Amino acid sequence: MDYRFSKKIRMKTALITGSSRGLGRALATVFASNKYNLILHGRDSVLLEKVRTDVFKYDVACEIVKGDLRAEDTISKLAAIAKEKDIDILINNAGVYMKRPFLDMASSDFREIIDINLIVPILLTHKIFPILQEKRSGLIININSIAGKVGGDGETAYCASKHGLRGFANALQFDATRSNVRVININLGAMKTDMSKGREGWSKFIHPMDVANKIFELCGEYPSMWVNEIDINRRIY
């Protein structure tokens, strides 16, 4: 057994989906540097292994799971490791983006975007929530978008998925509050990642490390308040 996951030396554990690049990788770095053990998911085994190698310098434990989150066995594997490692924080970060006129979208495009951005977080949370409920503590963070609050030109599928994710987070608050579990919906403006690289003004987008540091700050325990939702917008236009 890795001593860092042992009960004697209690370090908190965070599960981050989509952690091989972009915001997910930044989150892995920030949480590891603050002495969190990690469970990291990604679809690129080479990049995922590189992230694990990078975070080891912080002397934390790190489990990696490669796979498509739309596959039931990937979600089940993550949930099993989360239970074994006594998870404290779930960050639903994995997502896809597509900007395309409505009538140019294929049915497969809608299914992919809504499956990954909405159905996957719901199903993974459904598996993880009982672990946190039993502990009567923990935190679920959904990486959402400003597109989850307003419409965008050419973003019909993306906005539908993100509006749905926001609705899910808002409704989950009722069950979570009864179980002493926190849920935070993070609505992000345009961020400087590979996913947004083709968009105009990319050089002025939000840096992932700035977002990762703010998210870690939100994980702190406050005696008299919970943060349920926050907007993070671009500073430069």
Residue 8 maps to a domain: yes
66, 43 contact by CB (below 8 A)? yes
> What is the band of 222 on the pLDDT scale with cuts at 50, 70, 90?
confident
Long-range contacts of 172-175 (CB under 8 A, 24+ apart): 172/125, 172/140, 173/228, 175/129
3 CB-side CA count, 13 A: 2
> What is the band of 18 on the pLDDT scale with cuts at 50, 70, 90?
very high
Residue 1 has pLDDT above 50, yes or no: no
- Quote the pTM value: 0.93
- The CATH code of the domain that includes 91 is 3.40.50.720
Residue 8 has pLDDT above 90, yes or no: no
Q: Which domain holds residue 75?
A: 3-232
Q: How many percent of the chain have pLDDT more than 70?
A: 96
Residue 53 maps to a domain: yes
Cα separation, 236 vs 30, whole angstroms: 24
Residue 73 maps to a domain: yes
Task: Give the pLDDT of residue 130.
Answer: 98
Count up the domains in the chain and report the number: 1
Residue 137 maps to a domain: yes
Which residue of the set 3, 36, 158, 222 is catalytic? Answer: 158
Residue 237 maps to a domain: no
Residue 206 maps to a domain: yes
Task: Give the pLDDT of residue 2.
Answer: 55
Residue 33 maps to a domain: yes
Q: What is the mean pLDDT of the chain?
A: 93
Task: Give the pLDDT of residue 5.
Answer: 52
| pLDDT 10s digits, 110-122 | 999 999 999 999 9
Task: Give the pLDDT of residue 199.
Answer: 79
Residue 237 annotated to the active site: no
| pLDDT 10s digits, 33-67 | 999 999 999 999 999 999 999 999 999 999 999 99
